[in-house]
Structure 1
Amino acid sequence: MRPSRLEATYRLVEAFGLDRGDNVRVEAPEVVPDRVLTLVHSQRYVDAVRALSADPSLDLPRWGLGTEDTPAYAGVHEASARLVGGSHQGAAAILAGDAVRAVNFGGGMHHAHAEKASGFCVYNDCAVAIQQLLDGGVRRVAYVDVDGHHGDGTQSIFYADPRVLTISLHETGMTLFPGTGFANETGHGEAVGTAVNVALPTTADDSMWLRAFDAVVPALLRQFGPEVVVSQHGCDSHFADELTHLRLSVDGQRQAAVAVAALADELCEGRWLATGGGGYNCYDVVPRAWTHLVGVVAGRPIDVGTAVPESWRDHVRQRWGARAPLVMGDEVDLWWRSWESGFDPNDETDRTVMATRREIFPQWGLDPWFD
């Protein structure tokens, strides 16, 4: 989670000129006030984070801070509230009609719950942005989370809210933190069917992941009819990232962004707020994956065969002593089977997908076998 991964990403964005398009405005994220944080977090939780921010030696374990995964440190409140700032400003721009799309690759803190920090995440910028959109008059928001880990915090905050459809595709909780995100987690009360989880096999690759996305996400979004899409694009699903067992490529992660963009264009006149998330291969995977995300959001997608600018590679070598990649993709074949090709009961991916479809699709009047 070192800040240098964000710096490296933005330098690559600059190297491609994505920050200088006629249709692009760059804003520095602000430290948001409590009234923004308390859209989803309790005031007592915010007060506890602020106290730990001033004195990290305090023992306040109930709030989830001070753990190995989510340590307390001086300034943790300000740093975390600034990450929220990017998503807050993006949502505000969409509500005001000043922007159709926005991206905050510093955000995506999807493990933070209403009153508990978890998994490196203190304040949940995704949830804040979603609630802000709802309070601003948006009637339905679809949240699509493609991080390698389950988006448990965002799901929990909206678990009983039928206005929010949360979909998370992630490595199964049987082998990975946070140990949740199974097909039978479907929502509560009137919101049953609005929490959707695809717990992918441990070593799922591009073809398996893209087949699962195709089999679940488009049909549900079309049936739900969102007015805005919010997405989380953690790139720790990459085969070179050590925090998951998944085997995706940068090419596959880029394709996920392309697919979300197409659904936003089809269903809600392009209104889309994208965030970053997990991603711990700091100078290879993260900058490429999120530069692709910025390019897709800005309507200037970068081909995966494009050479990485030499100036950026030199900077990475001189600044961090790291060896940067030569091209913007991983030179893989992205072939995959669509769900229309049929269900194979002997295929682990298909069994996972069908578990989700059986739980969720009938709630929306969809046939789990064919729709």
Structure 2
Amino acid sequence: MWDEAVTRYDFGPSHPMDPVRLALTMGLVRAFGLDRAMEVRAAPAAGDSTLRLVHREDYVAAVREVSEDPGVADGSYGLGTMDDPAFHGMHEAAALIAGQSVAGAEALWHGEVEHAVNFAGGLHHAMPGGAAGFCVYNDASLAIARLLELGAERVAYVDVDVHHGDGVQAAFWDDPRVLTVSMHEHPRTLFPQTGWPEETGGPEAEGSAANIALPAGTGDEGWLRAFHAVVPELLADFRPQVLVTQHGADTHFEDPLAHLAVSLDAQRAVQEACHRLAHEYADGRWLALGGGGYAV
């Protein structure tokens, strides 16, 4: 899923969420000829009815308002903060990214494709009623919510970003149809200070959330051991119909905003494992999303 306009999701030149990372990634896709080996699609921006599958109506209205006039942003709804400074076109850019993830999920569910990728997505910190952690609309949650709307009964979400996938967990905290698994740096040492192992789901969905909190400094061996010790067993028990994964690159040892020490080789190994798990437990239906990562 790709539209050049997703690079308009731009918080400014001093912000670490630089859209150049998206342009560089698409440049690699083209350089390796992947755009000729697979279908590249663009989808329209998510409309209000889709956004309201997860986000509150008043929050969507607030995003629209600051999108038209960034000067009115005062920190309400998490907009106009250091993490999420307001900019012209914020709503349109964020909704476009969400639209790519939702369209990818729809194509999977309708059997048009086996795998779908939106590397501009994975904005997992956005909450139903507010922006957080560089994330305005939670495309991962919206894709999952759309799958449920289409009739999915079991969707598994696996998040290997260095930060806890708090927004997705919150969206489905009491929904036993969604298993959320997040492997991240321990909340003692990193934003958003959630994702403790004791967080296991709400009263209506006990056991539907799993959090693997790793100490700062964890490298390839510990990271891969944690993944392989927990994720396959959870998926084998849950038997998802669709697997949605978030692959934030900020676990990398050169990322200056976090404290894990993972290599590209280990990141690739986890992505390959997710591919195998999708085929083993979800009939190959796999939606892979991007995520955080400091573009140097």
With the shorter chain as reference, the TM-score category is over 0.9
Give me the whole-angstrom Cα distance separating, in 1, the residues matched to 2:44 and 2:271.
Answer: 25
Give the secondary structure class of the aligned counterpart of 1:57. helix
Which position in structure 2 is the counterpart of 1:154? 168
Aligned ranges 1:112-123 → 2 under 5 Å = 112-123=126-137
CA distance in 2, matches of 1:201, 1:222: 26
Residue 92 of structure 1: CA displacement?
A: 1.2
Structure 1 unpaired stretches of 5+:
283-371
Matched, 1:49 2:44: no
Measure how far apart 1:60 and its partner are.
4.4
- The partner residue of 1:19 within 32, 35, 39 is 35
Deviation of the 1:35 alpha carbon: 1.1
Tell me the alpha carbon deviations over residues 83-107 of structure 1, each in whole angstroms, 9 at most, x when there is no partner.
Answer: 1011011011112211111000000
TM-score between both structures, scaled by the size of structure 1: 0.74
Q: In 1, Cα distance between the equivalents of 2:259 and 2:43? A: 32
1:28 deviation in Å? 2.2
| Cα distance in 1 between the residues matched to 2:28 and 2:161 | 21
Contact 2:42–2:100 (8 Å) recurs in 1: yes
SS in 2 for 1:121: coil
1:94-243 alignment runs, 5 A limit = 94-243=108-257
Deviation at 1:189, TM superposition (A): 1.2
Larger radius of gyration: 1
Change in CA separation of 1:79 and 1:164 when aligned onto 2, cut-off 3 Å: same
**For residue 250 of structure 1, what is the amino acid of its counterpart?**
L
The residue aligned with 2:294 is 280
Q: Identical aligned pairs, as a percentage? A: 55
- The CA deviation at 1:4 is 1.2
- Kept in 2, the 8 Å contact 1:29–1:83? The answer is no
Q: Does the residue aligned with 1:178 lie in a helix, a strand or coil? A: coil
Q: Please name the residue that 2:285 is paired with.
A: 271
- Structure 2 CA distance, aligned partners of 1:74 and 1:110? 22
Shift in Å, 1:120: 0.2
Q: Report the Cα distance in structure 1 between the residues aligned to 2:60 and 2:73, rounded to whole angstroms.
A: 15
Describe the SS at the equivalent of 1:229.
strand
- Conservation of the 8 A alpha-carbon contact between 2:20 and 2:295: no
Give SS of 1:190's match: coil
Distance in 1 of aligned mates of 2:68 and 2:74: 13
Write the distance in 2 (CA, Å) between the matches of 1:147 and 1:154.
13
Q: Determine if contact 2:216/2:259 at 8 Å carries over to the other structure.
A: yes
Aligned to 2:99: 85
The CA distance in 1 between the partners of 2:260 and 2:45, in whole Å, is: 34
Cα distance in 2 for residues equivalent to 1:31 and 1:190: 32
SS at match of 2:128: coil
Give the TM-score normalised by the residue count of structure 2.
Answer: 0.93
Distance in 2, Cα, partners of 1:214 & 1:234: 18
Letter paired with 2:145: Q
| 4+ residue runs over 4 A deviation | none
Cα-to-partner distance string for 1:115-149 (whole Å, 9 max, x where unaligned): 01000000000000000001101110000000000
1:11 counterpart letter in structure 2:
G
Contact 2:163 2:184 in 1 (8 A): yes
In the alignment, does 2:254 pair up with 1:253? no
- Partner SS state of residue 58, structure 2: helix
Q: Is the 8 A contact 1:138 1:227 kept in 2?
A: yes
Correspondence for 1:64: 78
Number of residue equivalences: 280
Residue 11 of structure 2: aligned partner: none
AA in 2 matched with 1:39: L
**Distance of 2:73 and 2:168 partners within structure 1:** 26
Q: What is the rounded CA distance, in whole Å, between the counterparts of 1:170 and 1:156 in structure 2?
A: 16
Give the equivalent residue in structure 1 for 2:6.
none
Give unmatched runs, 5+ long, in structure 2. 1-16
